[in-house]
Structure 1
Amino acid sequence: MQRLKIDQDIKPLSEVRIGIANFIKQVHDTKRPVIITQHGKSVAVLLDVYEYEAIQEKLELFTDVQASLNQLENGQGIAHEDAKEKVLKRVQ
């Protein structure tokens, strides 16, 4: 996902209502989210669906890594050679 450009990517709800199709095209083309404000406060984010899916995949990966680290800290890990053997058995 591209970095947010404050001067281009924060829009009031009233402006988004009028030109929603343009904002959908903008997030798709730029891969940057649009922050939607109401009464001067951020209330929502408009995000390209592919960028959203990429974020979800990264979140799942980070969650899995954290779970694995927690298991290792609790003594639930296995030796490298044992893991390698299990993987090779599955592949063959």
Structure 2
Amino acid sequence: MGRIHFDQDIKPLSEFRAGVASFIRQINETRRPIVITQRGKGVAVVLDVSEYEAMQEKIELLEEVQKAEAQLSMGLGISNADARAKMLLSIKN
């Protein structure tokens, strides 16, 4: 996902409503989200579906990493050497 260009990607709700099709086209072409404002405050972000899915995958991966780190800190993990030995043993069998 591209970085937001503040001069192009922040739109008031009224302007977004009036030109939805062109803004959707802009999102698809630039791969940048559009921030919708109402009364000067951000109220929504519109982004490409594939960009949203990629964000969700990254979030899930980060959650798995956090879970693994928590398990390691509780002593539930095994050493790299032990894991490697188990993998090599299973490959040989």
Aligned-CA RMSD value: 1.6
Q: Distance in 1 between matches of 2:44 and 2:60?
A: 22
Which sits farther off after the overlay, 19-28 or 81-90?
A: 81-90
Q: Following TM superposition, by how much is the alpha carbon of 1:87 offset from its aligned partner in structure 2, in angstroms?
A: 4.3
One-letter identity of the residue aligned with 2:49: V
* 1:27-85 deviation per Cα after TM superposition (whole angstroms, max 9, x unaligned): 11101000000111100000011110111011011110111011111101012233235
SS at match of 2:75: coil
Amino acid at match of 1:59: I
Identity of matched residues, %: 56
Gaps of 5+ in 2: none
- Residue aligning to 1:25: 25
> Partner of 1:5 in structure 2?
5
2:40 is aligned with 1:40:
yes
SS at match of 1:60: helix
Q: May I ask how many residue pairs the two structures share in their alignment?
A: 91
TM (norm. structure 2) is 0.88
* Equivalent AA in structure 1 for residue 42 of structure 2: S
Question: Shift of residue 16 of structure 1?
Answer: 0.7
The structure with the largest alpha-carbon Rg is 2
Q: TM-score, normalised by structure 1?
A: 0.89
SS at match of 1:75: coil
